[in-house]
Structure 1
Amino acid sequence: LISKGGGVFSRRTKSIPLSAEMKKWLNTKKLSITPNEFIHQILQMPVDLLWNGGIGTYVKSSKENDSDVGDRANDAVRVNGKQLQAKIIGEGGNLGCTQLGRVEFAKLGGKINTDFIDNVGGVDCSDNEVNIKILLNALVNNGDLTVKQRNAMLYEMTDDVADIVLDDCYRQTQSISITDQANVVQIKEQLRFIHTLERDGHLNRELEYIPTDEEFSERIADGVGLTRPELSVLISYAKMVLKEELNQAAITDNAYYQKFLVGSFPQLLQDKYQAQMQQHPLRGEIIATKLTNYMINDMGINFAHRLNEETGASICDIAIAYSTVKALYDLGDLWRDVEQLDNKIDSSLQLQILDSMRRSVRRATRWMLREHTQFESINSAIEFYRPVYSDLLNNISEYLVAEEVTSLNNTVASYVEQGVPEAIAYRIGIQSNAFSALDLAHIVEKTQLKPALVERLYFQLGSHLQLHWFLEQINQQGVNNHWQALARASYREELDHQQRLLTISILKRSEKLASIAQVDDLLVNWMDENSNLINRWSSMMSEFKTSQSHEFAKFSVALRELLLLTNKVSAS
């Protein structure tokens, strides 16, 4: 496996003879080189991947002295992060780089995580091994297995455990990549999360080399976000804290999450010992860990914290709402479909798609928490929303106006042109429209009408009153602080609520709606009867269109005007 001209050399030898190939890579005419100089030069080679798998710290930052590193044996070979020319660094060994060295390299465009992210497979494998052995040992003690059978099963499950571990590692680094690509966009949310970790005594920012508030301000001004090494620290703390918060009976005794316990074991054990898994002494920890990994890998570092701040909901309620939305949206299958596009589409596009899925699920989860509808179980909630959601996925073109159908088709076509299969492109493109299924399900329940009739009026009303266009303006409104972010979210909620109330009020004007044509006639008649208020609203939307940027007060005034229309309709 050694390349032509290469070799394996001892660091104790006096000098290493250089082959023609080695001279070319090192850009030198020397005939030989000392081992220390050789390593020093190798570290600075322009390569795709620099893999560290041994003992010692070989990279520091230019702001650190060798004495700061605490590895005297490698002082002569060590380089600074800014001297590295590799595109990617992988740390198979511990402390191959100092954290500041990683950050320095990352700031210059290098791709690097941390040692505890890159070599997490060993820890993950050990955790799986412990959980499996506890289960098998209990079976042996109960006389259900012999020691010989236990050992044979452990050997048989080797590849399955490896697959579980690799999937965990893949999903975690993928999550970091999604957040990393967003760059500075999420930095203010991340700072609030850091403040919370500090306040609750979980994080020592100085010890973990997390930037100060002043450094955050500088990065915001420069349009630079946190680096992958810094995000690696935060994702680790986020998982540690969330796991503790989720290890409660509201989660671990919830029937829906029992599949997380079973799914944490290899298929061989799932097929034979599901009942015995319920007696596992680490049952709660296993479920909480699995749910934590799903939530943070899917939704990012500060998802639960952000929704807790925005809605006041408990972490367990946030987890339940997220699980409901994830199942309703079939997020697991769609996410896997997008993952299957590895090396088939541009990776930045792939990450953008996954980020758009994050935003869709976050919006729907927030809606669930604000709605406060009580269901017997997660499955009953899914069953309540599923019929309308499925109908939208399959028939939405029948309910949208022509220009919205064209817009959806153009979005899908754009993804297809970039290599995304059409079926996946459609599922991604329809996310924004499909969100309406949440409101629509409640309208269907309230009016007892067929979903198709409700959906038709809802979307036609949204088009005629330009509510969908107005929503886009809200979504595009930039925010400079936490309070503006909360205001923008509340505007979205208020607009959704008004459209829901208007739809219910209009539908209740007729007791015999049986066709799409009747729905269209009902809407036309309603608009004629309320032309004065509708014209006033339309004039306000026209005024919005004269400007590319808007003050927050404009949205408040506009929503107040819409409320007047809603109140009049509700009272009539």
Structure 2
Amino acid sequence: MTGTRWQHSAELVTEIMSLVAERSTLERQTALESFVFEYFSNVEIEDIEHAEVADWYGAVLSHWNFARQRAPGETRIRAYNPHTQTHGWQSTHSVLEIVCDDRPFLLDSVRMALERQGLTVHLIIHPVMGVGRNDQGMIETVERLTHRARGGSGDAESASPRAGLPAEAIMHLELDRQPEQTLAEVGQIVRAALDDVVAVVDDWPSMVRNIDAVMAALKSGPPPIPATELEEGVEFLSWLRNDHFTFLGYREYRLVDASESDATGALQPVAGSGLGLLRELDGHPPRVLTSLTPEALRIAREPELLIITKSNHRSTVHRPSYLDYIGVKRFDADGKVIGEYRFMGLFTSAAYNRSPMNIPLLANKLRRVLTRSSFAPRGHAEKALLNILETFPRDQLFQLPEEELYETALGILHLEERRRPRVFIHRERFGRFYSALVFVPRERFNTVTRQLIQETLETTLGASGSEFTVSLGESVLARLHFILHVEGEPPLPIDQPALEARLRDLTRSWNDELTANILDYFGEARGVGLVRRYGEAFRADYREDYTPRVAVHDIEHMEALDRSADGLSLAVYRPLEAPPDQLRMKLFHPGSPVSLSDALPMLENMGLRVEDENPAKIKRGDGPRIWMHDFGMRSADGSEVDLEAVRTLFHEAFSQIWVGNVENDGFNRLVIGVGLGWRQVVVLRAYYRYLRQIRLPFSQAYVERALANNAAIVRDLVALFETRFDPTLGDERETRATALVERIGAALDGVASLDEDRILQSYLALIRATTRTNYYQRQSNGRDAEGVPKSYLSFKFDPALVPDMPRPRPMYEIFVYSPRVEGVHLRGGPVARGGLRWSDRAEDFRTEVLGLVKAQMVKNAVIVPVGSKGGF
């Protein structure tokens, strides 16, 4: 404690002492002041500064009044909710007050009892004082002890207070606020725990004398067992006696056969022999009991000196561990087992920290395992095996038969630091629990993985519960040790390979799954290179949102970027849970993220409403970073999207829009809404641009909407265009075209809107007036043998077939369209004279050109009777 903190604490205690001086009577003031001083002597200021001085005065005075009178050996316990009107002070917590003789294990045992009830302890004040009382049990003197009992340290030494004052433990614990009924139960539970402490500590000397007596009896009247086994057994018991075992219970048992019991045989307690936790109280059975199964009875009859295992009961004293069970068998003159001396307790920390090569029983057991391995003495393999044995769970070293220990240790050695899961399972000899040693790659170990492994083992083994410990040394493997408790009949034989396969699945990292999926999907020849390239490419945000199987398909798209002419790769998909009007699109772009200001208008013009976007940056082993944008979209009008029908159309259209080969406008909604390809949409867009030049009185947005509203007619219009000009068609061309015109005419009769009817009629007329087009012509791109469609579209019209065309009508007219330029050429006759010009009138350049044609006809009437003119 620093000086500043101590001064603060001292100041707080001084204020409390001032209140004591003001309000207490003279005859008890000295003892009360000593009580208050000792009460707060070892309390950190952070623990008590949350409350007012008046409340701490009330708390300590309340405890003083509760402790003031006590009979010798009495344990006083009170649990209550402090309230100012009732108790003179208040707290937000429930308070547990205890006054008793000081003993080891008190505080640990009280905390364990509270934790078993799920209660959180917020504050502990636990002074131990030398207290002098008169014949009525009233406090007369309170003094500091010269030194305290080593409570909880594993021994039972008594306190040695100055001037012979008995040591009393004063405990103040603040708990989660509880109702009064619950507090009464808490008091009973804590009293039971303290009764156990009293039984253990008071009987400690007797238990030690009993183990001494057992050793003496083994030496003076050795049973008919091998001398080495007897010698090792006595040496082990002596080692336990030497501060390596905390004795918590003892009882002697007599092995009776079928003639003396209702069963096939049983271990019968010897009346009056119980000590500690196995003590009989008021004629009741011992607190810890063991039921014998046929297997346990068989083990009890085996002519071996010692049984070392775990009880299926937790200790209520000192540590909340399952009790260690040391059984020393009794033999008759013929070497038949006739009973057992049973010691219950806990191995001390010294027993766990010492090398097993220095522990009786274990040392020879380990030497036999090393000898059996046949490894070269002091060679690498023997040293590695010895390290495995020395770091093996200590309880398992005691419990495992030598054969199982040998096989398990060798199995661990053969792991050879391999990054793969292994499990070694052993059933406790009485069938009450399983021990499972699980090794997993260290980098894959975390709490979630441990929980999954634990659940899997519990399910596989039919366990009712389990505990675990984790060992993380310098190895690349983490070791998990599970103790799994089973009830009833043992489960079916364990399928070890299947269990380990399940654990491999549980401990596989995301990157491991990715590697496996890459090799499975692409094959080993190509997959190995892709693993090097993408094995560590995906960051945590991507791994959290997408599975390795999905990542494989994303890799396929990213690989396509290297072959992409537009520097873009797309994947349109629909999650399984999504409704039919929703879809998602992944857009992959190298080097830098895509500007949302560029991408969103394109998607919206395709008839979609973008609802979310999930970006991810992917760093390949070589090459530039790749940005993936995952857009969540819904059809703008709420209609269903037939993804399988439009996926390829969507991919091609978006790519063409991205590179500028297709204009980004509302005509693109026809890709999804009508099911047209991007070039078919270009045809409709080009016809509209010409209709605008010949003064169709409808805006582009209105025309786009009219086309979208009449999907079936639009598909037939496109089919009519392709039927008329597809060079692969022969004699059936006219028949098909006539049928389409008739079908379109019939469908137009059902169009309710006059405007939409006029728009569709205009498209039909233009298509029928078209005499030639370059739609099917292709040009070389240096990569594809067949070339690619030309970047512009041209139509040759017969103006006589175009209704509502401004006069004068030329004999022939050509219209050229591309995203970069539009142009017309009007020709008055087979022989005409004229030129070309650029116009700055984008909306009506044909009107300007038509006027020039008229002027040309007047100007050149003598030379050439008709004129021609082109403009763009």
Give the TM-score of the pair, scaled to structure 2.
0.20
Which structure has the higher relative contact order (CA within 8 Å, separation 6+)?
A: 1
Structure number with the higher strand fraction is 2
Structure label with greater radius of gyration: 2
Report the structure, 1 or 2, having the larger helix content. Answer: 1
